[in-house]
Structures are given as C-alpha cells and as structure tokens.
Structure 1
Amino acid sequence: MEKPNASLIEPVGEVNFHSSKSELQSSLKKLLLKIESFFIKKGYLLLLVGFLLGRALILSKLTPFSLPFFASVYLIRKDHAPLALVGLILGAVTLSFPNAAFTFAVTLIFLVVFRISKKWLKNELRSIPLFVGIILGAGLLAESFIMQKQLTLYDAMMAGVQASLAFILTLIFLQSIPLLTMNKRRQLLKTEEIVCLIIMLASIMTGTIGWKVYDLSVEHIMSRYLVLVFSFVAGATIGSTVGVVTGLIFSLASVSSFYNMSLLAFSGVLGGLLKEGRKIGVSIGLFISTLLIGMYGEGGGSLSLSILETIAAIFLFLLTPQAFTSRLAKYIPGTAEYTAEQQKYMRKMRDVTAQRVAQFSNVFHALSKSFSQMDVLPTEEDGDRELDYFMSNITEKTCQTCFKKEQCWAKNFNTTYAYMEEIIHEMDQKDGAVSSKLSREWEKHCTRHKRVFDAIQTELTFHQANQKLKKQVKESRKLVADQLQGVSEVMDNFAKEIQRERENHHKQEEQIMEALQEFGIHIEQVEIYSLEQGNVDIEMGVPTFNGHGECEKLIAPCLSDILGETIVVNKEEFAAYPNGFYQVSFRSTKAFTVETGVAHAAKDGGFVSGDSYSTIELGLGKYAIAISDGMGNGERAHYESKETLQLLQKILQSGIEERVAIKSINSILSLRTTDEIFSTLDLAMIDLQNASAKFLKIGSTPSFIKRGSKVIKIQASNLPIGILQEFEVDVVSEQLKAGDLLIMMSDGVFEGPKHVENYDLWMKRKIQELQTDDPQEISDLIMEDVIRSRGGLIDDDMTVTVAKIKHNTPKWASIPVQKLKRRAQ
C-alpha cells in the first residue's frame, strides 16, 4: 500500500488554516460593524454620553452640561434627540430627583421657545448658544427664587457663571458631536475640532467621578487612558494638550483632583516623547510620570493606589486595537497617517488630472488619425466615375437637343465616348487647345462640334478649379493632422510629467546638511527635488553672508564632490530682512555651453532691418539660434521676420517638435494675409548634453562650421515660409565638438560680396583665414569684409551670428567633503 504524498497533505492543512483565519477576520469585522451600527447609526452612543453628562458636575454643584448637549443634538441629529434626553434625565436622577426635574423642565422650555422663535431666526447655528445660555440662566434664577423665596447676589453670580459655561459648552458640542455621530467621516480634523473633542471627552469622563472598582477610581483610569491614546497617536504636543485640558476639567469638577492635571500633562509630554517605542514606550512614560508626581505630591499610601490605576489604564491601552488608533491618527494633523492620507489624496488628484490630460491627448491623437485617413488616394474607379459625371454635364448641355443623339450615343457609343475623352484630355493638358487632326475628325463625327468644344472648355475650367480646391483642402487636412498630433504628444508628455511625484530624500537631505555643517557652513534647511544624473535640483536656506559669493565658491563645489557631478548656483532670493536666511537653488550644469556673437546692419545704414535674430534658451537642455529674413526691407519686412521668430520661440518652448512647429508657423503666415509677404528661417537646435545639432533651413542661405582649419557647409533646399501651404521640412543633423564655430548668416551677407561668382568658395576662404575664435570678433570681421567688398555700401539687410561650442568647465573646482559617500547614498 502506497503512503500518502506529503506534498498533497501540507497544502490542505495550510488552506484550512488560512480559510479559518479569514473566517475569523470576517466574523470580527461583522461584529464590529454591528457594534458600530448599534452605537452610532441608531444613536445609543448619545444615550450613554447623555447619561454621563447628566451626572457631570463642576465645583461639586454646577451642572451646565445637560442643556447644551441636548440643544446641540437637537440641532444636528433631531432624530436622536429623544435618546439624548433620556440619557440626560437618567444621569441627573443619579444625582437627585430635583436635578432630574430641573433638567427636564429647562429642556422643555428650550424646545417651546426655540420652536416659537424659529420663524424669525436667520441663522440657527449662531443663535442657539445664546438661547441655551439665557434659558439656563433664567431657569436657575427661577429655581432659586422658588426654593428660597428670594434672590441673592450669590445666586445671580452662580446663575451667570453657569449660563456663560452653557454658552461656551454649546459652541464646543456643536463642533464635537458630529465627530461622534458620523461614522463615515472623510474630512480631516481642524485644530479647533481636536480641542473641542478633548474638552467633550473630558467632560463626559467627569460623569464617572465617584465610581470605583476595587477601590480604583474610574475617572483616573479613563483620563490616563485618554492621554495614553492621544500621546501614542499624535505625539507630545497633542498628548500634553489632552493632559492639561482633561486635568483642568477634572480639577474644576473636584478640587481634590487638582494634582491630576500635572500628572496627566507630564504623562502626555513624556509619553509623546517615547512614542517611537510604540505602545510600550508610551506606557513607560505614564508609569514614570505616576511615580514622580505621586512621590512628590502625595504619601506612600495613595502612591500604590495611583500605580494600580496607571496599570489598569495601561492594560486598557494595550488592549486597544491598532485599527482604532490608526483610524484616529488619520484625522489629526502632524501624524504620519495624516500625512499619508494627504499624500494619498494628492496622488489621487494627480492621477485624475494626468488621466484627464491623457484622455485629451488620446482625443487629439484620434482626431489627427481621422484627418490623416481622409487623405486616401483616388482609385481608377473613382477616376472613371468622375469622367462619367464630367461627360454627363457636357452632353446635357449639347447632345440632349441634337437630332443625331440616337446615332451618336446608341449606335456609336464607344467611338463618341473615345473622341470626347481624348478631347477632354488634350484640353486639360494643352490649356484648352486641341490638335488639328483631332479637331477635323471630331467635325466629321459631330454636327455641333464647336458647341461641344465650348461646353468642354467651360466645364473644364470649373473642374480644374474644383480639383485645385480639393488639393488645398487635402493639404490643410494634412497640416491639421500634423498639428493635432504635435499637441497630442505635448499633452501626453505633460501627463507623464504630472505623474512624476517628488521623491522622498529625507536621508540625503540630512547627510548633505551634516556634511556642510561639518565643513563649517551653517545651513537652515535642505530640500532635494531631484537627484537624477544631469538633472539635480536642490534648494537651501542659507544665512546672509558678507556678499563674497560663498554659495558659488563653497557650497556648490561641496555639492559637486558629494554628488559626483558639477553643481552651480541657479538662482538666489535674498532675505526680506537683515540677518535672515535666503533661498538658493542649485542645479546641474550641462556638458556644453554656447557663446554667441552677432553683427547686423540695415540697408543703406538705416535703423530698421528686415532681418531678425534670436538665441532661445529652451527648458529641455537645448539651445536654439535662429535668423529670419523678411521679404524686402523696412518696417514690414522687420515685422514679418520678428513675428516669425516670436511664433517659433513660443511654439518650441511649448514642447512641440521642430518640424511641426515650422509647419504651424508656415500655415499661420500663409493664411494670415493675402499679400505676397514671405520670410526665410534659419534654425539651429543644439543639445547641450551631447552637442548634437539639427539644422532646419527654410529658404535660407547655407551655414558653416569651422573645426580647426576645416570648414563644413550646411545646406538644405526649401522655399521661404508663407509661399506654400504644404511643404516638407528638410532636417540636417550634425555632431558638433568642443571648439567648433557655427556661423549662420542672412542672404545679405552670403550674397553680399561684389564681383564674386562663387559665394561658397569666397565665404569658406574668409572663414579659413580667420585668426581668432572669439564669436563677436568673427561676426564683426565677416560683416566688415562683406561691406568692404562693396566699397562701403550696404545694399541689403545683413545679419551674421557666430556660436562657439565649449566644454562647460566650472569656475570653481569641487571641494572634497569627508564622511559622506558619493551620490549621498
């Protein structure tokens, strides 16, 4: 007999264990939901709270809690107000029957007065504390007068104090009762709500004064338990606040409990400081506080009793489920759970925003695809159908009334159709002319040959205009499709950028701050936004130095050594007041820099040039140099070239790809005016990380790269912008190197030399003969040579730009920083 396979037995046991565990968890969850439904949804929690507040006292005599509690419940949860009233009366009965009767009477008076005056109230929430204070004060005065047959100053003062307390307690209960009645709370707690909740909980616990279990005071156990919970959840600040407020209310209720305020406050501080030790650490804080305050404040007899009460509170605290404390921590500012909840909400909003942007991107992509699919090439069948419609229009005007209609189109259909097809083809190709041979043959075949020629000529004119319009519509569709695709790509990249959240760099921030402080530099704060290679982004709060460039000379070199790449100062915001801290941002430097020089002159030495130039610093680590030459000279040409560059700059900075950007500019300029005003565009895009360059030349002259003694010509053939609505942009790519000189010029410079047959050779020779590598000097020398060659005359607008590619060498070398690993690991 074979033995059972152990590998089959073990998983079954494991499955049974997990299934029983999951069943236990589901049963506990159902039980908790039933308890929560019983106490919160059905309102029996308000019955319990009302019972404790009904017997709560201040100064062993005053009972200001009952009416404020009932009024708040009546305004917030009217359906649960009867339960609250029953609880209050039951609690008041435990004190005395007259107290219960007084509670019922003032509650009844409040209901009558409030219902009567409700018609004239504009804001019930603001007026109800005033109603409660007045009714309770008047009720106390009436009670004193009935019992004593007179009113004393003492009675009036006590009634005033109790009415004032009722006014304040109503405001507090209006803030805190919603926290007890709404089981699905989503909003985060405000500081005022937390304080109101603490006051209410402490007031509720005063209803337990006098209760003892095995000589242990229930109010002491519950107050210490409350401090333990809040110290564990929110730390020392909230813990000490809870201790002070709870102790103060207990001391007002019973003067003998005054020492409890110092015990609870000290327990809140010590327990919050030991929060890192979890529940055990907070419990130890309460135990130490009990020993210290007990030994200082009272004798040894009550010390043991106080220690037993502390142990009971700790026992209840240790039994408190983690789910309760975690849920409470989500609503208290400053806790890790609160921060996590906020980050969760921000991530949700970020994801929703990114999703919406991505959806818009998909919409634009779909529109682009839809426009692209419209450009379907015509088939042979479509051509035949179009020819049939064309002939049908002609025969309708000529052959329908002819007596030989039957002879031509019934008996000799093929011959007549072939003749007319050939005539239409020749007229289309030869601008309305027909060969003499075909004309003679058609005259023999048709009795109305001249009338047919005229009809074909007229119809062909309309047909050609229609075809031209269709072609323009097709070109416009393709341009719109490209532009929509460009917008789609920009929005898609934006959606991805949104989803890149700021990383947590707390450890690296502390390490950088420690390293700089060991070096002797005092830093207020460090915020790291990115440590990505080549894209480091750090901000610091730095004290105001003596203006000797300490950030550039000391801090940036230290960061360069720490992070293993060159870091420089990007921006400084000086302090608003003397001896304050100012914000400094540090960024990674690019591998290359571009130094430029420009020389330009207007025609005949004028002030307004038709040429425009621009050096554009794009935010993606790219550097753009552009020259635009408007057609002609003067203000109109200057306006056109300047407008072209401004459009280019804005579109490129939005992130749209270069080709789409230039096509968009061409479309705008060609559709904006019917005048024949055109512009050339010479654009060079240089990547500062690897020095690769893209050249886009639209009707512009060649550019030159000087590399040592070698001169490289960059040329592309495109018509100027604004002539055609549709054209292909030729992109020429070239890898630049450190030390290269990029020379770009307008046609006034390239074609400026007089008596020169080959402009290319002349310009190359002049560039090779240059003895300097300074961009500004080179641009001035080229401009001077061209003007000299024309005898000092300037016959056209002239612009020349020179860019020198250089390795980005930091001004200050990195400073070695000890005790810190590279990249702040």
Structure 2
Amino acid sequence: MEKTNASFIAPVGKVSLHPSKSALGSGLGKFHALLESLFIKKGYLLLFVGFLLGRALILAKLTPFCLPFFASVYLIRRERAPLALIGLVVGAATLSLANAAFTFTITICFLVIFRISQKWLTNEMRALPFFVGMILGIGKLGEAFILSQQLVLYDLMMVGVQASLAFILTLIFLQSIPLLTLNKRRQLLKTEEIVCLIIMLASIMTGTIGWQVYDLSLEHIMSRYLVLVFSFIAGATVGSTVGVVTGLIFSLASVSSFYHMSLLAFSGVLGGLMKEGKKIGVSIGLFIATLLIGMYGEGGGSLLKTVLESTAAVFLFLLTPQALTSRLAKYIPGTPEYTAEQQKYMRKMRDVTAQRVSQFSGVFHALSKSFSQMEVIQDDTESDREMDYFMSNVTEKTCQTCFKKEQCWAKNFNTTYAYMEEIIHEMDQNDGAVSTKLSRDWEKLCTRSKKVYETIGQQLTFFQANQKLKKQVQESRKLVADQLLGVSEVMDSFAKEIQRERENHHKQEEQIIEAMQGFGIHIEQVEIYSLDPGNVDIEMSVPFCNGHGECEKLIAPMLSDILEETIVVNKEECATFPNGFCHVTFRSSKAFIVETGAAHAAKDGGLVSGDSYSTIELGLGKYAIAISDGMGNGERAHYESNETLKLLQKILQSGIEERTAIKSINSILSLRTTDEIFSTLDLAMIDLKNASAKFLKIGSTPSFIKRGNKIIKIQASNLPIGILQEFEVDVVSEQLKAGDLLVMMSDGVFEGPNHVENYDLWMKRKLLELETDDPQEIADLILEEVIRSKSDIIDDDMTVTVAKIKHNTPKWASIPVHKVKRHA
C-alpha cells in the first residue's frame, strides 16, 4: 500500500517541545543500540567479565574462575573466545605476572587436549566440566611441585578444592553465559538458572575487591545494588537468595567480608517486603538493614562508611531505567512479566483473529482509496480549458457569420476575449445581468451584442447544470469513499480489541509428549493452536539437535501418524548454543503444489503493458492465478488492469467467495469512472488439497489444460468488467490432476498469430508439439511462436502464464506410533 503524506499544524507555543522529545528519544535509542552492539554483538562484555574473573580470588589465594570461564565461552561462543582469553590474562596480570603466565599456559593446554579429545567425545557439554576440573587440578599440582619441589597433604587438599570448584563453576557458567551474550534465547528461565546467574555475577564482582572510590568499597556498593535490583523485581524470596549467595561468595573471597552476607540477606528480605513502595520502599529497606547490621556487626566506628556505601548503591539503583528492570523481570519466575511470557500463546491466537479482521479493514480501505483517487480536482488549467470550450460554443453561434469576425478575433483578439470573459463572469454572478458600463463598452465593440447576451445566457444554463452534475458525482464518490473508510476504521479498531481464548488441547499435548518420550525424544514444550484437518498448527521447543534434523526426520513423521495427515516443518529456529532449545512450527502439508511461469511483452516493445498478471497465495490451501487486460494500451490500460488485480487480491485474501469478489470489483469499476475504460479478468482458483479448479472468465480468452496428449479447452461468455453494474458470473469447474499444465493467456497471444483462421486449433497444435513440461520454458516458447508468426511485430500487449500441478511428496514417510490414540 502506498503511504499517505499528511501535514500537521501545531500551535506556535508547542512547536519546540516535540522535536526536543523526539531528539532525546532518538538519542537514547541510538546510545542503547550502540551499547548493545558493542557489548553483546561484538562480545566486548566477555572481555570485561574476563578481566574481573581473572583477578577474582577465593580464600585470598585460589583462582578457580579463569579456566571454567574460558572453556564455557569456547564451547558456547567460540568466535568470542580470544576476547575472553585476553581479558582473563590481563586481569590475572594485575595480581602477578606468574598468575598471568599460569592462566595463559593452562588455557593453551586445555585447548590442545580438548581439541584432540573431540574426536572421541559424543557429548561435549557433559564432558567439559570433567576436562576443566582435571586439567586445572593437574596444572595446579604441577605449579605447587615446581615452586616447593615437594608435595604435602595441604597442597593436595588445595588442588582438590580448586579442581572441585572448577568443575562446579563450569556447570554454572554453561548455564549463565548464554543469558549474558545472546539476544535470541529461551525467554523463560528455571530457578536454578537464576541462581547460576547470581553466582556468576557475584563471582565477577569479587574481581573488584580492593577497588575504592573516595574511600568507599566498590564491591560493597555493587553487591548492595544487585540485591536492590532483584528485590525490586522479584520480591523478598529472590532478594534474600541473591543476598545470601552474593554474601557467601564475597566471604569466601575475603574472610573480612563475612558480616556483609548478613547485611545483604537482611536487606534483600526487607527490600522485597517493601517492594510495593516502588524504588523508594526498596531503598528504605536497605537503609534499615544497613543501620541495624552496621551497629551490631561492626560497631559505631565504621557505620558512617557503611551508610555512605548504601547511599551510593541506592543512587545507582534510582538511576537504573525502568526498561532494564522490566526486561530482566521477564526471565525471573513469579514476576508479572514472567507470567505474561507464559501466556504468549494466548496473544498469538488473539493476533491471528485480529489479523483476519484487519484484512477486511484493508479491503474497505483499498476500496475507499480507489474512489478517492478518481476525484477530480479543479485546477487553473482545467478552468481555462472549460472557459475556452464555453467561448467556442458562444462564438460558433454568434461570431462565425458576422462580417466583423476578422476585425474582432484576428486583429483585436485579446480585447474581444477579455470583454467576453468579463461578460460571462458578470452574467454568471448576477443572474444574467450585465453592468451598464460593461454593456455600453461592449455595444461599441460588437454589432450583435444582444445575440451574444442571449447565447451566453443559454450556454450558462447548460454549463451550470453540467457543473452541478459534476459536483454531485464528486460528492457521491466522496461520500462512498468516506463511508468505506469509516467501515475500515471501525473494523481496524475492532481488530485491536479482539481477544480470543486458546482452545483446550491439553489432552493432545500430553499424547504427543508421551509418544515422543516413548520413542526416546525429549520435548520441552508443546503448544497446539489448531487441529483442524488440513490446517494443523503446532509449536514445539526441542533440545539442541546439533543440526541432525530430528524435527523433520522424526518428529514430523510421528505427528503425521498421530494426526493421520501429512505434517511438515513450516518454520524452525535452531538454537545457537549446545544447551539451548530449537523452536519449531509444524503445519499441515498440502496434497499438491503449483509451479508457475510467465512471459509478457508490451505493444511495439514498449515498457508499459496494458496487461497485468498475478499469482496469489490465499492461505487455507488455495492458489490463484489471474490475468487482466485493460482496454487499449499504455499507462491508462495498465492502471485499469493493475487496479483490477490489486482489488481482486485484497478481496480474495480476506476470505470472500470468488463470485462475490468478482461482482464487487465490477461494481467498483463501473461506478468510479464515467469513461468507457474496461478490463477483462481471467481467474483460476486451485484448491491445493484436491487439485480442483474454478475458472472465472470475464471477457477473457479461453484457457487450455494439457494432460498428456489431450488438450482441454476452458471458456465462458461474460462481458468485460465495468460495462454492466449487475451481471452473473459463470464459473467453470474442472478437476486437475498431477502433471497437468494450465495455460492462460490474454487476447494478444490467443488472437495474435497472422494468417490463422481457427485460433483454437492452432493453439492446441502448438501445445501438443511441446517437448518440455517446464512452465517457464513453455510460456517463453508460446510467446516466441506468436511473435514469430507476426514477422516479429508486436501489435498488441501479450501475456501468457503457465502452471504445472504436482503432487507434494514429503521427504519422509510417517513413523507408526502404536501406543498413542488418535486425536479423533
């Protein structure tokens, strides 16, 4: 659809407000997009996280974070692994050069060993934690032996602790890294994944231990900020969990921070309980916890510093935009945003219904636009032309037989024309009266002044009646256009208000899950939107298949057996990381498919043809092929034929029956213009379920079906569209078969061959002589034959379309599922 330009006039005092808001919103949007591109898409977030984890410590000396983080990034986002390694090495270097060297060495050893072992691994995801734990343990064991030249029980215990931590951290990072680095991920998270994310964030923040801003500890500020955010989003349960986990990680990193766990846990509980007070309530909860724990935990000496740290955390929390907290809330169980994501299937069903109503609205809008475009706008050029015609009619009856014609119109044309124009204007304005001065001046110039007055008066009567009729027609068109536009707007508003409940398919969903699990296939989620025969619509979340095509090869064939009709994969979004989920849509397969080809040429080899053609996917298993031939040639004929097909497509896609669609288009085209401009329509509607076809021919040439060595002619007798306002549409039905070729053409092709008396026999003979069944090749050959028969002269617009009917053979046969009852 074309966009309509509109101009808006704002009050002078308010003009300056809108651009500033728009510019601010645009600037924030660009800044947000820049940050997302820099940190998420380009992966620099991994560089920053790697730097903090590289310098993170446990018990002031253990560094178990580096290798698990790198290994997880390598498995999930291999192309970003170098950035993570750079961050880890630089972060480790801030502790000591020996630590940086060990980090780099152990990472290279992991890469070598893991790449060699990949040949024998069947499940890299499960094997990775064991590899990381063993490699880090052996590395730390070697480091301890090199430094002390002997191994004592303490060294062995510390190595065991680090290897165990590396094993657990790898599992945690495998769950958490996709949440930080991927835009398209599974929306709904489990509680375990939330805890893993919190552990990872707390581990990252341990890398800030020792950093201070104006004597305020940065790790204390950031940990309290984290508790504030989660308490505000998810309440006391998640808030206290975040506080306990974060405090525990910090206490492991530094024993002096043990009291901090109590502060974080207590503030998480209080903040969550006071979340109804929005950000202010959560902030007050943190201040209460800070005062209580600060007084009892550390004494009055450091209370001021603790309060200042909490104040800084609250300041950051208040600056956090609502968009960020709302987006994070979608992934946390128990939040309203999470519940909204769970109900996504209901919105889909509502949107499907609203879309159908919107299509009807689009039909009425297109009809309204069609009438509005034909409205005649009186401009200066057209007014001058009407004045010339008026003057010509007057002079024909008065001046043509006057002896002074040469004197008035040859020598004094401008003067005579100006006087007569002024007379016409005054008589029009003053009910046929002319002012005394003008009458006296005109009588000096013209010898037949009375005759001129009478003739102008007669012509004015006809002119005014004609103008009144034109105005009435314009007003009628405007009225129809406004009414249609009003209906369109009402339906569009109705579409936005529609809500449709999801049908209850729990029993069928359980049957499908049971069948798949019995076959050894795990399915995370099944959502059934429709089980209507021929219109099945099912969505599934399937674990990462590593590109083996389980959905197409196993699940779709099993669904075909369960639902007793051929089911195929309509859309598939594969997971981009090993522990992700593929989202797959299954739909009913059509029994037949249509391959089309088309060839066309404009008269005299021009660029604009009066013929138009279209192939339309109508949904519900129907396929339409249409050719329209506008009367004459050139742009006006092209406009008429193209407008006919546009209206046809709009109406058919809305689901209106074919005969009604044709009648509607005929009424529109016959009403909207008084010019004798008509167009033909050749429409074939093919049902892809059984290959039955309906042919609606409005003033068009015959069509032909080639079935082996047999040619079937399809013809009907109807006048072109736009001639009569009321007429009956003849529908010709024909059962097509696989392998049939349907040939449709405009009159320029059918009646094109020279020196041919019987066009039917000539076309049938040419079709029988074809040695190919490719639709495009056939269309090209027919057009070429017609042009060659006319000695390469194109004296009319030519269009030919060819469609081949084929069986839709699925790639995979159905798989019997004996234990599951059919849904019927």
Q: What is the TM-score with the length of structure 1 in the denominator?
A: 0.42
Q: What is the TM-score with the length of structure 2 in the denominator?
A: 0.42
